[in-house]
């Protein structure tokens, strides 16, 4: 548990970790509130490329989670970053 206390940023998968379908997982909101209370940060990750950041922010907000586009990182973004890096100019 001590290792968790020393972290500054938590990378969290969303589906089946924070929510399941349209239901918030028990304890998820409390966990996120504790992270913020300790002046730490979390970033939501997803490998589901069917939605964009805005869609995920809307879903999280509807579930009562305070999230902005800066709090979400998608597989689509990771792919875009990779392709830009590999692109030969």
User: Who's near 33: CB < 8 A, 6+ residues apart?
Assistant: none
Residue 45 CA to residue 53 CA, distance in Å, equals 10
Structural domain span for residue 32: 2-86
pLDDT of amino acid 88:
63
pLDDT tens digit at each of 89 positions of the chain: 677 778 899 999 999 999 999 999 999 999 999 999 999 999 999 999 889 999 999 999 999 999 999 999 999 999 999 999 888 65
Q: Quote the number of domains for the chain.
A: 1
Which CATH number covers residue 11?
Answer: 3.40.50.1000
């Amino acid at each position: 548990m001590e290792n968790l206390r020393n972290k500054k940023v938590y990378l969290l998968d969303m589906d089946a970790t924070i929510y399941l379908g349209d239901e918030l997982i028990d304890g998820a909101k409390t966990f996120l509130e504790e992270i913020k209370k300790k002046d730490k940060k979390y970033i939501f990750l997803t490998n589901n490329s069917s939605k964009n950041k805005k869609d995920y922010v809307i879903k999280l907000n509807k579930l009562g989670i305070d999230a902005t586009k800066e709090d979400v990182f998608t597989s689509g973004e990771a792919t875009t970053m990779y392709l830009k890096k590999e692109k030969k100019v």
